[in-house]
Chains A and B, each alone.
Chain A
Amino acid sequence: MTDSKYFTTTKKGEIFELKAELNSDKKEKKKEAVKKVIASMTVGKDVSALFPDVVNCMQTDNLELKKLVYLYLMNYAKSQPDMAIMAVNTFVKDCEDPNPLIRALAVRTMGCIRVDKITEYLCEPLRKCLKDEDPYVRKTAAVCVAKLHDINAQLVEDQGFLDTLKDLISDSNPMVVANAVAALSEIAESHPNSNLLDLNPQSINKLLTALNECTEWGQIFILDCLANYAPRDDRESQSICERVTPRLSHANSAVVLSAVKVLMKFMEMLPKDLDYYGTLLKKLAPPLVTLLSAEPELQYVALRNINLIVQKRPEILKHEMKVFFVKYNDPIYVKLEKLDIMIRLASQANIAQVLAELKEYATEVDVDFVRKAVRAIGRCAIKVEQSAERCVSTLLDLIQTKVNYVVQEAIVVIKDIFRKYPNKYESVIATLCENLDSLDEPEARAAMIWIVGEYAERIDNADELLESFLEGFHDESTQVQLQLLTAIVKLFLKKPTETQELVQQVLSLATQDSDNPDLRDRGYIYWRLLSTDPVAAKEVVLAEKPLISEETDLIEPTLLEELICHIGTLASVYHKPPSAFVEGSRGVMHKRLPARTGSGESTESPDVGTIAGGSGTETAPSIIPSQGDLLGDLLNLDLAPPTTTGPPPPTSGMQMGGMDLLGGGLDSLLGGDIGGSAAMGAGFGAVPAVMPASLNAPMGGGLGDLFDLGGGVGMPLGAYIPPKTVWLPAMKAKGLEISGTFARRAGVIQMELTLTNKAMSVMTDFAIQFNRNSFGLAPAGPLQVLSPLSPNQTIEVSLPLSTVGPVMKMEPLNNLQVAVKNNIDVFYFSCQYPISMLFVEDGKMERQVFLATWKDIPNENESQFQIKDCHLNSDAASNKLQASNIFTIAKRTVEGQDMLYMSIKLSNGIWVLAELRVQTGNPNYTDLEISVKCRAPEVSQCVFQCCEAVLKN
């Protein structure tokens, strides 16, 4: 038997030869030929041309040959649907075969042929097989229902297969039960709201019985299904736990992990003072440890899950530190994961051991691993105060090795140690300064600069050190630039006499020569602060910093809860919710841990609830500022110098796709300054809070619409939408080109984007974020780019915007700074929106009010503009403007001039009044004149530009 020869034929004319052989009379020759066909198919050759010939071989009593032909059919039926019909007869006949193996084979294969016409014929045989006397056929038919559902869901429902499948849950054969459960679970996933699985105490009992008897795989299906059940009370959940715990001793790791998932989930419902609760906790540890003696790939899956479990319930593994010690021969992915867990488990009790280990690891070969080990030492210092001193001395030892990446990593963590224990370890600064020249990574440079700035008064040559960085200011990364700016300002406030020149230099570099908005903003803030009130500046910039938190890299609690519900699955490996990597509707359902149902005795949960609620209100997005506040809003920006390293406070919106952005994008958006300005972080964190669509329209927008229609001013023409312009050229964004425009539709502001992938690779994971802007524009939802963007593909996206985001005055007023993130990088661009987007529908003022307001606004707030070459009469102009929510209130004709009085209301409540003069008498005089009056005169220019654009288009 040397079948390998089939792989070697590569000559031309092969298809013809095969054709001849397939039609040969000799059975052996036929079989050989089919084998060759399958071999060609495997290596990716197209052998679909042989379809009729291969199907002809189907009528055979040779089971092996039959299976090969079926394999071929499954691959090519879709490309030859008409021919595939030829096979139906054989299938139907085989479903009646006395041999159960053949019946099952037929129904199994038929379900894999995704041709509509065939599925119709499949129904009757499938119905029979679902009730077959042989369990082997039934278990195959159960899976076939799921296959059919994938092809044609409606058909499955219409034919009543779902009910038959439900009946199979009570089948006498455990494997049939398991497959029925698997099929139902899959079908239920695509109907999130249907009560398909209908889990109730009776059916749960049946599942638990089958659990004891079925194959290891069946146990996994059943356990995964059980995990979706919500027990009615703590008693029921305890009794399920009791019956699931024996699975923890199964040799199959997947069974163990699925059992752990069920237990972790149902444990939530048990009162903590229950004896059983403690017993269960104790029972969970050993199997988790045993998973670490499995093959490395499984260890990896286990470790990723343990990482979640340790965060959720640290008590389970707190005594098991040693098993996470890294072995010399562990694959790197196991090493890195173990290290993560070691840090999470580090405590005063085991810190000495942990440190000794970490020190060993820091001398290993793998760069990533060594870096992580060094970082871990720093994290230990922050976490366990007693060990801080030892950690620092260990880090100093490591710096002495002069291994470049070790030194850099050490400096980054020492900065955090300084933050945690101020005025304790500053004696090491001298050693750090010695290594200044070797730092080439932005993070390390930024850390070092922060240290120099923070302790400028103790470093004699701080100014020289900082000056040396300043030389190549524009070549530095943003992170370093921001840090350098802050450090020099700190230095100036501490030693004002010698460093005046330096501070001026850096401020001008930041504000005048840089095109980075963050840097410019920060530069301006310092500049103004220093020039207006140096004392206040000192208070602000050198303010005492809040302590940094002990735990880092914690997974956000709601996400953690969801991931706990996905233990064992890919989601738990990626540490991402399934919606982040699964397409379509499957698995998008968010799973939650059950709430404790115990009576009054559980005192903990309500507390947690209030705390969570409290922090929720704190981080709510800022409210629309009142009129006239726009000017002063610069001051609203938090001027605090780098303060905390903590992640931005979690907001409720995070789950909904804001996630990714916060994880990666935001850091860099914030400039990733080491300290991470807390206030800015909070501000940004709040932005992605998802607004329900109905809130997008400014209040009363709908009413205004109604009013307008009733008023019968004529149907609006449709608001003016400027043509799309290229905002982000592909050159600047690694192949991503973005062009776009803004539109206001039915009271909702839309940002319409065209994303084009001009790179060679697929782009995914798009997200968008705005910087603060004059009118608080913010995305009202995540950027909906569902499918990956393949090379040369273009996609049109429309992003609804809300106007309740944080506010900051921009220059020009209608400037918007945008960050777009994809799997490759984060890109920044700025664009200007026509201010007419912000004109709300209820902007029509009463005449009397108009007159009063017009008089009320001081004359110096009035500005005049001319629109040249505009051939419009007053009515046309009025209609055009009306379409963009610029309402004509009155019209007067004086001396051959039509005077239109118009009112506009901006989304933030500012009223703008305007007077438009149109020459009617003189056809040669085509210029229009417009005067604009507003309490906030800085918007006048924008309004004028907008009127001009509307009228000329």
Chain B
Amino acid sequence: MIGGLFIYNHKGEVLISRVYRDDIGRNAVDAFRVNVIHARQQVRSPVTNIARTSFFHVKRSNIWLAAVTKQNVNAAMVFEFLYKMCDVMTAYFGKISEENIKNNFVLIYELLDEILDFGYPQNSETGALKTFITQTGIKSQSKEEQSQITSQVTGQIGWRREGIKYRRNELFLDVLESVNLLMSPQGQVLSAHVSGRVVMKSYLSGMPECKFGMNDKIVIDKQGKGGATDEAGKSGGGGGKQSIAIDDCTFHQCVRLSKFDAERSISFIPPDGECELMRYRTTKDIILPFRVIPLVREVGRTKLEVKVVIKSNFKPSLLAQKIEVRIPTPLNTSGVQVICMKGKAKYKASENAIVWKIKRMAGMKESQISAEIELLPTNDKKKWARPPISMNFEVPFAPSGLKVRYLKVFEPKLNYSDHDVIKWVRYIGRSGIYETRC
């Protein structure tokens, strides 16, 4: 298990050091500083073994978090824990920075004492932690409160406390997708996938039992075969295009996985406030919102001509926003002239790229940029690597085609029904790594 946990600033000074196991000594603190932080680019793995001691590290801005062990620990767990640790800290005091860590070091020690016992991660849900690690000091709790805290921390529903009340029961669902593309210069899709998240923000009273439904192909097909319920009749009847094939999905720990596995239904009691309900990935029938058509021509040794066309490929009534096309330029670029029909384009020497920005663009439109790049002659034999042209955008639909069909809320103990809950659904598609090679 984890033997110790250290936090360093960018210079390698220790900000937090908590040792859980006897086999980790103070020299481990220095070993990591010398061999990893000060080694700069030399270290090429997030796991380092120095003198039979293994160090796992992650970096947040310029802060290093390192977990140390001498045993054959579960490596995936250690990294998951480090991320979780970052989440918890962020939830408590915001951005992870040297200043924030120094300002909250007592709190961090308290947290580390609670969420890691003898190197074994314990309940690390912020919702639960915040009920008893408060930093307000002497706050004395009543006996009931105490047992409520402990039963929540250890309980089956460790992410939600009882007795939550809202005057207005309300929930927000955000379907956030990032669409990833790698396209060859000839316009052939080399790989494309959507990784999506369903983020839920709920303000519901009591312990509500929720059920979430979407146009999952497996569910729709099953219902279609099995004589169709009312709902399936309406939405599933439309055929293949109405439903999407999900390659894989993972759920927040509140979702009952065995139920999903058996019936493919998503049921859960949500944590209060915001949570990431599910993540999913699709690779079939993806709507690629934009196509990039590059044309690069080398004119002699000192000049490049670049022409890039982008085409939007969705309903004309919808608007894409925050469009940015990044065209890389060689390192020996001396000057660039750009002409574009729409938006603004600029050559940014420090980033070695031409950045072309368009505020808005409707569907089924086309726009073009052309540039002349002048090069300094070099005797560098190494060829320019020609990084791909990348693109950023935001569209108001889900490129995977995912649709939320329902989110039902049941709270048998309190007197509000599914109809009383105000529900909001929003779809946002963003570019992930959206690249076209040139």
Contacts and interface: CB of A to CB of B under 8 A. Distances in A.
Do the two shown chains form a genuine complex with each other?
yes
Interface of A: 1-4, 6-7, 35, 38-39, 42-44, 61-64, 67-68, 70-71, 75, 98-101, 104, 108, 111-112, 114, 134-137, 139-140, 143-144, 146-147, 150, 173-176, 179, 182, 186, 212-217, 220-221, 224, 243, 245-247, 249-254, 256-258, 286-287, 289-290, 293, 295-298, 300-302, 322-323, 325, 327-329, 332-333, 336, 353, 356-357, 360, 363-365, 368, 401-403, 566, 568-574, 578, 581-583, 586-587, 762, 764, 788
Contacts of B83: 295
B138 A62 contact: yes
Contact of A215 (B47, B123, B433): B123
A146 B117 CA distance: 11
A568 B80 CA distance: 12
Interface in B1-59: 1, 13-17, 19-23, 26, 29, 44-47, 49, 51-52, 54, 56-58
Contact of A574 (B49, B156, B387, B433): B49
Most buried by B among A224, A298, A333: A298
Contact of B253 (A216, A246, A329): A216
Contacts of B279: 251, 290, 293
Contacts of B292: none
Contacts of A35: 106
Chain A at the B interface: SS class:
helix
A560 B387 CA distance: 38
Given A98-B143, A182-B120, A363 B386 contact: yes
A336 B1 CA distance: 28
A301 B122 contact: no
B339 interface: no
A137 to B, nearest CB: 8
A111 B118 CA distance: 9
19 contacts: A4-B103, A7-B102, A42-B16, A64-B137, A101-B146, A135-B154, A136-B150, A174-B156, A251-B250, A253-B80, A258-B74, A293-B281, A322-B190, A333-B46, A570-B71, A572-B75, A581-B49, A582-B72, A583-B70
Contacts of B22: 114, 150
A257 to B, nearest CB: 5
B154 A3 contact: no
Nearest to A252: B80
B416 interface: no
B366 to A, nearest CB: 26
Nearest to A78: B22
Given A3-B102, A42-B105, A327 B77 contact: no
Contacts of B15: 42
Contact of A251 (B109, B276, B387): B276
Interface in B343-399: 381-383, 385-388, 390
Nearest to B435: A328
Given A249-B261, A254-B74, A295-B58, 7 more contacts: A44-B17, A44-B29, A64-B137, A144-B118, A249-B249, A364-B385, A568-B74
B132 interface: yes
> What size tier do the contact residues of chain B reach?
35 or more
A570 B47 contact: yes
Contact of A586 (B52, B57, B71, B82): B71
B195 A293 contact: yes
Interface string B133-173: 00101100101001101110111101000000000000000
A329 B252 contact: no
A325 B182 contact: yes
Nearest to B13: A43
Contacts of A295: 58, 79, 83
Nearest to B143: A98
A807 to B, nearest CB: 37
A246 B79 contact: no
B284 to A, nearest CB: 13
B45 A333 contact: yes
B47 A328 contact: no
Given A42-B15, A44-B29, A328-B388, A140 B117 contact: yes
Given A401-B383, A571-B72, A300 B47 contact: yes
Contacts of B253: 215-216, 250-252
Contacts of A75: 19
Nearest to A111: B118
Contact of B80 (A247, A298, A572, A583): A298
A179 B79 contact: no
B260 interface: yes
B420 interface: no
B248 A290 contact: yes
Contact of A253 (B76, B109, B135, B154): B76
B387 A328 contact: yes
Contacts of B435: 327-328
Contacts of A143: 117-118, 120
Q: Which 4 A-B pairs have the closest CB atoms?
A: A286-B248, A4-B102, A136-B150, A246-B261
Interface in B308-366: none
B17 A42 contact: yes
B427 interface: no
A257 B75 CA distance: 10
Contacts of B257: 212, 246-247, 249-250
Contacts of A71: 109, 113
Contacts of A108: 113, 117
A217 B121 contact: yes
